[in-house]
């Protein structure tokens, strides 16, 4: 009996040792493969003329290795459930499959960075919420799919070769001397503890977490630290937290506030009770008596980046008929988008929501009273949503009618009205939107104001244009940005097409009977994908920048045209201008009002990106992360550094917007 028990314990000990050694042998090829991809990514996206210090590159290499070791060790630890007991051949197949998965995620992260200028984030889940077939078709058209698959195969083969080499050296399946029980026990203990610390990513300090991705002052280099596995994990965490609507305080607490009252105090808002805080979020300056209500036509332009406008000239004409309209417009040229994707920005603008996706579940089935369409409707407006895309995308056809739009006109409606329209990958050409708008606005009763929200689609990969459109030659010597993307010129062509049409529409309004009674405004949903990676710190702010332009009769533009601002400020500016008051959340500031002489937290000249980045006149940073601050001022002052008060106020503003959505959906 004793011998049987001893043999059983010895067998268990030997199996455990075999499993631990197999786990460590597994870790090596994973780390090698992930490290190879990281250095390949650095080389692939390294901008021409960009320089980085050796110490910064070393910091990226070391920190990247630590994250590679972390995710590889976690895989090894989880597989301890099977590695001690499977056959040698099954172990090799398991490792080969895992290497393939890690390598595939690494290359997804590589191309995701090339497209979104950031490691994998929660926008990636839109693959399953967009028109998936159209997305995949765009990927096939715009990305080196076959070359990437070949690179995946070669990197996977490298990892498998490394694994087999280490197997021959370590020989984890070799049976140890039956008498070496104490030695085996010691090796098991050391190997297990080492595996735990490898999964933690450190020995003495706290486990590697998201904040440890920042190791240099260069965001470009910091973005090289996460591998595809850890980036996807953090994206999933963000997604899960954003969808956790059961706890209204989860966003506030993540930003360092235990209650909405604590955040309100930072902003100088009334804060005795939660009800008082909510009331303050919806309080606005009263409009002058008898302010007339004007039509408000708002355009969310696909990929309207701010950068090409910097180089606009007669020989580099990227605006067409929009260019002459800007002389009498309010053009806010230091302006951030809310999100890096179309649907996230759409939700951020319509609902002042940092939470996305917000309306694709139950939340989209109940009216959100502070949404801009609901506010306009309550003010007596007819509300219209028009897009050249298909409104079935992201359930917009269902959601928008619940959220206050009387009519939703999409590619299918436009095709019915204009049989000559061709429905392509993302919808019809934008020109049919403008034809419809001119007809619809001319038919609007004069005693009923109209609010129109327009979403364009043509300036989108794969950058196709109508067959009869004459492309305008551009002097690319005028382009001062990065030029590494093959899609740059085709993208500039569709950019010009889209904004030339918008300019023609503005001119039609300004020269017609609606001139005195119509406000036209436009912004971009996000920056263009093909305009570089913005590795240089002085250009980093351009990665988030889109224009915001307002056209109207006798506009007084004020002194904020070049001050940092963002999407959150738009309807705080447009609603008072159109004569709409009350009902909308105090998400930002009125950009047509002069900046206050005394510091005012609710009207400070800052921009906010809803993934958690802010920018002031000096630079930009990730909320709550002083080490992430990058000076982006054109003429940096003597002290260009992180401002803790600015950060605290932006965290409070962001946290209250998050809380407003969550607490409202509790009811």
Q: How many CB atoms lie within 10 A of CB 240?
A: 10
* pLDDT for residue 485 is more than 70: no
Share of the chain above pLDDT 70, in %: 86
- Give me the torsion for CA of 180, 185, 190, 192, rounded to 10°: 130
* pLDDT for residue 264 is more than 50: yes
Could you read off the pLDDT of 22-70 as tens digits, one per residue?
777 777 888 889 999 999 999 888 887 788 888 889 988 888 888 888 8
Q: State which H helix or E strand residue 384 sits in.
A: strand 382-387
The answer to whether 26 and 72 are in contact (CB under 8 A) is: yes
* pLDDT for residue 584 is more than 90: yes
The residue that leads in pLDDT, 327 or 162, is 327
Tell me the average pLDDT across 586-609.
93
Identify which of 323, 310, 333 has the alpha carbon closest to the alpha carbon of residue 479. 310
* pLDDT for residue 186 is more than 70: no
Residue 4: predicted pLDDT: 53
How far is Cα of residue 254 from the mean position of the Cα atoms in its chain?
Answer: 18
* pLDDT for residue 180 is more than 90: no
Identify which of 618, 566, 570, 568 has the alpha carbon closest to the alpha carbon of residue 592. 570
Q: State which H helix or E strand residue 335 sits in.
A: strand 335-336
The residue that leads in pLDDT, 317 or 77, is 317
Q: What is the mean pLDDT of the chain?
A: 85
Eight-state DSSP code of residue 587: -
Strands 619-622 and 613-615: antiparallel
641: Cβ contacts below 8 Å, ≥ 6 apart:
618, 629, 631
Residue 350: predicted pLDDT: 97
What is the C-alpha end-to-end distance of the chain, expressed in Å? Answer: 66
* pLDDT for residue 337 is more than 60: yes
Residue 358: predicted pLDDT: 85
Tell me the average pLDDT across 245-257.
91
Identify which of 252, 236, 345 has the alpha carbon closest to the alpha carbon of residue 658. 252
CA angle 518, 522, 523 (to 5 degrees): 160
Instruction: Give the ranges where 391-456 is alpha helix by DSSP (H).
Output: 396-402, 411-417, 431-442
* pLDDT for residue 176 is more than 80: no
pLDDT category at 230 given cuts 50, 70, 90 is confident
Residue 136: predicted pLDDT: 66
pLDDT category at 185 given cuts 50, 70, 90 is very low
Q: Give the CA count within 13 Å in the CB-facing half-sphere of 241.
A: 18
pLDDT category at 205 given cuts 50, 70, 90 is low
| Dist. CA 393–CA 132, nearest whole Å | 10
The residue that leads in pLDDT, 269 or 15, is 269
Low-confidence winner among 24-38, 157-171, 396-410, 521-535 (lowest mean pLDDT): 157-171
- Domain limits of the chain? 2-239, 282-611
* pLDDT for residue 192 is more than 50: no
| Dist. CA 201–CA 191, nearest whole Å | 15
Residue 18: predicted pLDDT: 66
Fold (CATH) for 282-611: Alkaline Phosphatase, subunit A (3.40.720)
Cα–Cα distances (Å) from 419 to 425, 469, 529, in that order, read: 17, 18, 32
Tell me the average pLDDT across 494-511.
96
Residue 240: predicted pLDDT: 73
Low-confidence winner among 127-131, 299-303, 456-460 (lowest mean pLDDT): 127-131
Tell me the average pLDDT across 62-84.
78
Identify which of 532, 449, 495 has the alpha carbon closest to the alpha carbon of residue 113. 532
Phi, psi of 409 (to 5 degrees): -110, 125
pLDDT category at 582 given cuts 50, 70, 90 is confident
The residue that leads in pLDDT, 183 or 282, is 282
pTM as predicted: 0.83
Phi, psi of 619 (to 5 degrees): -170, -170
Phi, psi of 625 (to 5 degrees): -130, 90
Q: Give the sign of the dihedral formed by CA 489, CA 495, CA 501, CA 506.
A: negative
* pLDDT for residue 191 is more than 60: no
Q: Give the sign of the dihedral formed by CA 95, CA 101, CA 105, CA 110.
A: positive
Share of the chain above pLDDT 90, in %: 51
pLDDT category at 204 given cuts 50, 70, 90 is low
Residue 578: predicted pLDDT: 96
Cα–Cα distances (Å) from 189 to 13, 66, 82, 132, 196, in that order, read: 11, 22, 18, 48, 11
Task: Quote the crossing angle between the two packed helices 88-116 and 145-170, to the nearest 10°.
Answer: 140
Q: Which residues pair with 518 in a beta bridge?
A: 295
Low-confidence winner among 63-72, 326-335, 546-555 (lowest mean pLDDT): 63-72
pLDDT category at 171 given cuts 50, 70, 90 is low
Residue 37: predicted pLDDT: 93
The residue that leads in pLDDT, 480 or 579, is 579
Residue 148: predicted pLDDT: 85
Residue 424: predicted pLDDT: 73
């Amino acid at each position: 009996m004793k011998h049987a028990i001893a043999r059983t314990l010895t067998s268990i000990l030997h199996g455990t040792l075999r499993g631990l050694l197999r786990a460590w042998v597994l870790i090596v090829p994973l780390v090698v493969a992930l490290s190879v991809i990281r250095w390949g990514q650095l080389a692939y996206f390294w901008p021409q003329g960009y320089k980085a210090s050796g110490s910064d590159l070393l910091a990226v290499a070391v920190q990247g290795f630590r994250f590679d070791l972390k995710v590889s060790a976690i895989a090894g630890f989880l597989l301890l459930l099977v590695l001690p007991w499977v056959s040698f051949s099954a172990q090799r197949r398991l490792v080969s499959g895992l290497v393939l998965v890690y390598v595939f995620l690494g290359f997804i992260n590589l191309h995701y960075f090339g497209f979104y200028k950031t490691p994998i984030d929660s926008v990636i889940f839109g693959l399953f919420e967009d028109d998936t077939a159209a997305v995949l078709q765009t990927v096939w058209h715009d990305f080196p799919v076959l070359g990437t698959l070949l690179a995946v195969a070669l990197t996977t083969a490298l990892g498998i070769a490394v694994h087999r080499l280490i197997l021959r050296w370590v020989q984890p399946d070799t049976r140890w001397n039956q008498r070496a029980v104490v030695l085996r026990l010691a090796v098991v203990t050391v190997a297990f503890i080492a595996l735990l610390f490898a999964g933690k990513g450190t020995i003495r300090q706290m486990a590697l977490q998201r904040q440890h991705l920042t190791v240099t002052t260069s965001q470009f280099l910091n973005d090289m630290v996460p591998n595809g596995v850890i980036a996807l994990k953090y994206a999933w965490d963000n997604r899960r937290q954003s969808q956790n609507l059961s706890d209204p305080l989860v966003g506030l607490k993540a930003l360092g506030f235990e209650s909405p009252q604590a955040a309100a105090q930072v902003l100088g808002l009334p804060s005795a009770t939660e009800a008082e805080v909510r009331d303050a979020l919806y309080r606005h300056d009263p409009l002058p008596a008898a302010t007339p209500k004007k039509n408000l036509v708002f355009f969310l332009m696909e990929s309207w980046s701010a950068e090409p406008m910097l180089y606009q000239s007669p020989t580099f004409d990227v605006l067409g008929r929009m260019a002459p309209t800007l002389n009498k417009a309010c053009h806010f040229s230091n302006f951030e988008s809310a999100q890096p994707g179309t649907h996230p920005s759409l939700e951020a603008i319509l609902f002042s929501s940092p939470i996305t996706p917000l309306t694709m579940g139950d939340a989209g089935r109940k009216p959100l009273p502070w949404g801009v369409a609901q506010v306009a409707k309550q003010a007596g407006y007819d509300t219209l949503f028009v897009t050249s895309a298909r409104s079935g995308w992201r359930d917009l056809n269902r959601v928008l009618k619940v959220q206050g739009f009387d009519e939703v006109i999409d590619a299918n409606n436009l095709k019915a009205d204009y049989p000559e329209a061709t429905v392509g990958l993302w919808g019809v050409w934008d020109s049919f939107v403008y034809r419809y708008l001119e007809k619809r606005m001319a038919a609007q009763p004069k005693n009923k104001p109209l609010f129109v929200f327009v979403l364009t689609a043509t300036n989108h990969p794969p950058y196709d244009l109508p067959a009869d459109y004459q492309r305008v030659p551009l002097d690319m010597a005028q382009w001062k940005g990065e030029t590494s993307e093959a899609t740059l010129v085709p993208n500039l062509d569709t950019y010009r097409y889209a904004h030339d049409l918008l300019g023609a529409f503005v001119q039609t309004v300004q020269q017609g009977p609606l001139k005195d009674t119509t406000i036209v405004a436009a912004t971009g949903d996000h920056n263009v994908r093909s305009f570089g990676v913005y590795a240089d710190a002085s250009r980093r702010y351009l990665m988030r920048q889109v224009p915001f332009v307002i056209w109207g009769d006798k506009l007084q533009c004020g002194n904020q045209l070049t001050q940092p601002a963002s999407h959150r400020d738009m309807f705080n500016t447009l609603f008072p201008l159109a004569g709409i008051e009350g009902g909308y959340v105090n998400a930002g500031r009125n950009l047509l009002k002069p900046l206050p002489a005394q510091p005012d937290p609710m009207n400070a000249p800052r921009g906010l990106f809803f993934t958690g980045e802010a920018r002031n006149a000096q630079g930009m940073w990730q909320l709550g992360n002083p080490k992430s601050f990058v000076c982006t001022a054109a003429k940096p002052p003597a002290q260009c550094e992180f401002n803790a008060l600015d950060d605290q106020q932006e965290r409070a503003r962001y946290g209250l917007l998050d809380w407003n959505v969550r607490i409202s959906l509790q009811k």
